[in-house]
Amino acid sequence: MPPLPQRITFRLAIRNRRGMLGQVTTAISDVGASVQAIQRTGAQRHVIFRDVSIDVRDEAHGDEVAIALSEIDGVELLAISDDVLANHEGGKIRVETTREVMNAADLALVYTPGVAKVCRMIAEDPTVAYRFTIRSNSVAVVTDGSAVLGLGDIGPLASLPVMEGKAMLFKSFGGVDAYPILVDEQDPDVFVDTVARIASGFGGINLEDIAAPRCFEIEGKLRQRLDIPVFHDDQHGTAIVVLAALMNAARVVDRELGSLKVVVQGIGAAGVAIIELLQAAGIGDIVPVDIDGIVEPRRGPGLDPIRRRIAKRTNPRELSGSAEVALRGADVFIGVSGPDSLPLEWVQTMSEDRIVFAMANPTPEIHPDVAGAHVRVMATGRSDFPNQINNVLAFPGIFRGLLDCAATKITDEMKIAAAEGIASIVGDDLAPDYVIPSPFDRSVVPVVAQAVADRAREQGHVRPGSAGSLESESEAAMQTAARRAIQRAVARRFSEDADD
């Protein structure tokens, strides 16, 4: 499969003569590149300046385009701009103020001496911070850079552009202020201690791009130590969107969710979370598969602790052998593994109404063009095919809901509620090529947020005394502070009267 295109912009000085622009576009087409936009940026008597944005396969292909353009008589190549680099120039996020500081009076209100009043209120009642600080709308996006996209262990600093992108999505889709936190530490206990020590300034923790199995230990220990939600998006974000898509895919094939026989290929962070959430949603027949075949107890001491745990909780028909064995008669294939690892011949041994989610990215386990005619529902992780399984459908709305109700944790029930919310967006438009909404559907976040917040309140996992209402908590704290101020004033007056 060809790699995803890269966009490069060429700034050209083109002789002002009929047919010159046509020569430019023809030269680009002749080397297999694609013109996406042409913008006139200026002109002189004999020259027109244009920015030409072109999709190329890779850097080498971009060099071919540059050579082809420079060989045209009457065209001068002035500059080349990589659109990816241009969109990262100076970073992608920033901090903005919500109050203007124009004079001494403004300064006294937002800083010293006025700020001392709020500090004292928080010292007396920490819930006040949810109204008078950024904590009520802030999430830490925490990584060690050990499992970044398809790049692997590139370290925390090299992962920063990804974490900035995540923060952008939090803000753009959910209105959540997210901050990249890079922790240069491989020891899980030290990592956990570091995050726990800085967590009080945040309303939630989003773990990102941390390699398995370390990610399981880190998330578990942080959830034990902190009284705010801890969510590893690579695990649970993926699982929630998969469940949402599977809920609707089951409707397409007219099956109850719990009746499906599911094969999950890839027992890393996402695979483990998918299995656990599908089980929580009522699916009992799940067969886990890795590169060595079906993950089951008879494979012996070669199983790591995570696979051993998964083996004990899955595969109720006690299958043994290769992935091919697991797929015979299965209704659903969910792949979070590697490219081109699912032969069409194996797909054809599945049940008649086959559902295939091939989510390896950018090259799926089986290409939709290969599998499409042989399955009822096909989904991938790619944006250029229908039914994209994309985490952006989950995490902005989930954290929006968690923050809105001041949740203290996130549970499987809340994740299922989020999946139900995502699935509900499809509604009556359900079709084999539309079982999951677009990642750019702005109606998703409010629905998911409401579903998560409602479930958190039902379960009682919100700040004590307010049923999740930050307004009522902080109002109560303010009333308490007001009563104490009155008591202090009255006490001073009695003291002054006694002195008189």
Q: Is 221 a catalytic residue?
A: no
Phi, psi of 123 (to 5 degrees): -60, -35
Q: Classify 167 as helix, strand or coil.
A: helix
> What CA–CA distances, in Å, run from 53 to 32, 73, 156, 331, 446?
14, 20, 32, 44, 36
Decide if 437 contacts 425 (C-beta within 8 A).
yes
DSSP state of 358: E
What does the DSSP assignment read for 298-357? Answer: GGGGGS-HHHHHHHHHS-TT---S-HHHHHTT-SEEEE-S-TT-S-HHHHTTS-SS-EEE
Dist. CA 248–CA 239, nearest whole Å: 15
* β-bridge pairing 285-290 and 293-294: antiparallel
Dist. CA 145–CA 457, nearest whole Å: 34
Q: Is 166 a catalytic residue?
A: yes
Dist. CA 1–CA 206, nearest whole Å: 33
Decide if 337 contacts 357 (C-beta within 8 A).
no
Decide if 70 contacts 80 (C-beta within 8 A).
no
Cis peptide leading into 213, omega within 30 of 0? Answer: yes
- Sequence-distant (≥ 6) Cβ neighbours of residue 134 within 8 angstroms: 177, 201
Q: Classify 246 as helix, strand or coil.
A: helix
Continuous H helices in 160-304: 160-174, 188-198, 214-225, 233-252, 269-280
Dist. CA 68–CA 28, nearest whole Å: 7
Active-site residue identified among 92, 117, 130, 166: 166
| Residues making up the chain, counted from first to last | 500
Dist. CA 383–CA 169, nearest whole Å: 16
Dist. CA 368–CA 58, nearest whole Å: 23
Dist. CA 150–CA 357, nearest whole Å: 19
Cis peptide leading into 362, omega within 30 of 0? Answer: yes
397: nearest Cα among 223, 212, 151, 204: 204
Burial (CB count within 10 angstroms: exposed 0-12, middle 13-18, buried 19+), residue 379: buried
Q: How many CB atoms lie within 10 A of CB 130?
A: 22
Active site members:
111, 166
